[in-house]
Amino acid sequence: MSLTTLPSAAQDLLARQAPIDKKMKAIDTLALNALLEKEQWESPAADLYEEWSNKYTHKVSPLPDEFRINLRGFCMPTPSRVITSNFGARWGRMHKGLDIKVYTGDTIRAAFTGKVRIVRYDANGYGKYVVIRHDNGLETIYGHLSKQLVAENQNVRAGDVIGLGGNTGRSTGSHLHFETRLCGVALNPALFFDFRAQDVTCDTYVFRKSTINRESAQATRLRGKNDQNGYSREDVVGKEQASASRRTEDNSNASSSYSGATRYHKVEAGETVYSIARKHGLTVEEFCRINHINKNMRIRPGQILKY
């Protein structure tokens, strides 16, 4: 029976009911969205991971053949633009992240929205570190922190402060060890982040098992470590952070450590405090004062020192 054949009273009733039905549909949609958001907060990327656990740092599970990773809504973990060590083979073992030059006390932020899974200390590895599982399926690891500022099972949004840069654990100098993992498998962070440009590489990255190794190598060539040994302070951190550091440094160091001529030296095998100081025209006492070290201190290859 068509609407035109209904009595006028019935037509009026249907007309009055229509906005009510529309309103109830909107309420149902809002309730459903709220429920989905709550589930997402409770267990990010639950469709990709079988469980939520605070027991293990990373647990490898089968990778999908293809998976789309949303990189929108990101925040760079640090304003530093200097990569001191690439993802890949290093010193006879696999280095499963990027090392980014930061200073002790520098602010470290969550890269994406998600939930903190691990807050722990590993004396022989990561030092003080944080693991976050994100809504987009990635897990990020932030290692060698001087201080952790979040707790396990805490919800965080992209850009929230999660810790301070440091030199804890197995580390040869203050830096951020930054990992990106999918299903527990370490992927090259340079696939997703361009630290020199302070940006992500794309809005959406499509992970494919068949091409990941080739793409990882290409990402290192495009966005990996610069082979130069010297870095200016302005390259290492953003201008705002550098200005804050200048204000808080001891006045006796400010003129030499943060002038335009200040550089950074990456220690090579066989070098000593004496040889590096001599190379850059400094006395051993000046070099040690700038770096707050003792002249008899043992330095290691890969360590970053000021001159």
- pLDDT digit string, tens, across residues 94-151: 899 999 999 999 999 999 999 999 999 999 999 999 999 999 999 999 999 999 999 9
Query: Which pLDDT does position 154 carry in this prediction?
Result: 97
> Which of 277, 247, 274, 265 has the alpha carbon at shortest distance from 301?
265
- CA-based max dimension of the chain: 103
Rg of the chain over all Cα atoms, to the nearest angstrom: 26
The DSSP secondary-structure symbol of 16 reads H
Alpha helices in 125-228 (DSSP H): 212-223
Residue type, 38: K
The DSSP secondary-structure symbol of 49 reads -
- The segments of the chain whose pLDDT lies below 50 read 228-261
Query: Which pLDDT does position 274 carry in this prediction?
Result: 82
- Range 98-111 burial, b when 16+ CB lie within 10 A, else e: bbbbbbbebbbbbb
Tell me whether strands 193-194 and 114-122 are parallel, antiparallel or unpaired: unpaired
Contacts 24+ apart (CB under 8 A), 298-302: 299/267, 299/271, 299/272, 299/273, 300/172, 300/267, 301/172, 301/267, 301/268, 301/269, 301/271, 302/84, 302/85, 302/172, 302/173, 302/266, 302/267
Cβ–Cβ < 8 Å for 225, 197: no
Distance CA 7, CA 250 (A): 89
Tokens read off for 168: 């804890």
Distance CA 40, CA 37 (A): 5
Number of H helices, E strands in the chain: 7, 19
Q: Which residue segments constitute the domains of the chain, with CATH numbers given?
A: 66-223 (2.70.70.10), 233-306 (3.10.350.10)
Query: Which pLDDT does position 236 carry in this prediction?
Result: 46
Cβ–Cβ < 8 Å for 166, 146: yes
Distance CA 204, CA 93 (A): 31
